Structure 1
Amino acid sequence: MISAERRAIEWECTRLIALYANLNDQHRWEEIAALYHPDGLMTRPTAPDVEIRGSQAILAAFKARPPRITRHFCSNVVIDVDDAGHARGHCAILLFTGDGPPLVGSFDDRFVATDSGWRFMERRGRLTFQR
């Protein structure tokens, strides 16, 4: 793989992370679920041991949340390209909810190339500091 292809994959996956945060803050659940592969897996930073599998189950989990105002910040994004169809990523997150102190955590991601573009195959969150 040439470096231009690698950089393009890194950019696409980094964009996916930022898009996810923005859509989450805007409560655009259907669009978030569409960022996952149909068989994708998610764990929330606040519940890292609870696996939610499949884009439809992920959509249902987001819709089941009580309404709240949030602002997610993702930084220190590092993407490692495995091959033309697979990549891994890590980012730090900071979540403000207005309900208490900010939450600090991270996501470990696995990405897969699909006919619709790059998607999350796996998104595992965890908190760095517990309340």
Structure 2
Amino acid sequence: MSQPLCAEAVRAIEHDCARLVARYANRNDAADWEAVAALYAPDGRMARPSAPDDWIVGREAILAAFAARPARTTRHVCSNVEITVLDADTALGESAMLLFTGDAAPRVGSFLDRFVRTGEGWRFAERRGTMTF
């Protein structure tokens, strides 16, 4: 049985995972698809808010899905980031998302995340988006 994590370790994991959420939004807005895909574990999976039950699995497939999107200008604003540390190598997260894109009306949604510690640091094992309105 593993030892409970000290408060400092929990805070460090919470910080690293919350930073991953912000990095994802910023790299997405910069259309840096390779950097976005690299934020996932090699076998990570993603479901966009517009298709929350349509999973895209693996970094290569995630990269291809982003690269296939038409060019657009976006700004993702993430807030209410809440990280729940399960153990030294896994955590869960929930965050609210507001998406501005060109002349379209803003969209509001959220992400439910599962994080995993890899040799590259914390990565998304799973990122499932849903639309609120």
Smaller-chain TM-score bracket: over 0.9
Residue segments in structure 1 that go unaligned for 5+ positions in a row = none
Paired residue type of 2:40: Y
Residue matched to 1:64: 68
Runs of 4+, deviation exceeding 6 Å? none
In the alignment, what sits opposite 2:58? 54
- Please tell me whether residue 8 in structure 1 is matched to residue 46 in structure 2: no
Residue identity matched to 1:13 = C
Alignment partners' CA distance in 2, 1:105 and 1:125:
7
Could you tell me how far 1:100 is from its partner in structure 2? 1.4
Query: Structure 1-normalised TM-score?
Result: 0.97
Q: What aligned pairs does 1:116-127 form with structure 2 within 5 A after superposition? A: 116-127=120-131
Q: Where do 1:100-111 residues align within 5 Å? A: 100-111=104-115
What do residues 77-116 of structure 1 show as CA deviations (whole Å, max 9, x unaligned)? 0000000000000000000002311000000000000111
How far apart, CA to CA, are the structure 2 residues paired with 1:54 and 1:95? 24
> What root-mean-square deviation, in Å, do the aligned CA atoms of Structure 1 and Structure 2 show?
0.5
Identical-pair percentage: 62
Amino acid corresponding to residue 76 of structure 2 in structure 1: H
Which residue number in structure 1 is paired with residue 25 of structure 2? 21
What whole-Å deviation, never above 9, does each CA across 1:4-43 have from its counterpart, x for those lacking one?
0000000000000000000000000001100000100100
Q: What SS does structure 2 have at the residue aligned with 1:49?
A: coil
User: Equivalents in 2 of 1:5, 1:89: separation in Å?
Assistant: 16
Q: Which runs of 5+ in 2 are unaligned?
A: none
Amino acid at match of 1:71: R
Correspondences of 1:27-106 after superposition (within 5 Å): 27-106=31-110
- Paired residue type of 1:79: I
Q: Secondary structure at the match of 2:55?
A: strand
The amino acid of 2:104's aligned partner reads: G
Aligned length: 129
Indicate the SS of the match to 1:50. coil
SS in 1 for 2:104: coil
Taking structure 2 as the reference length, the TM-score comes to 0.96
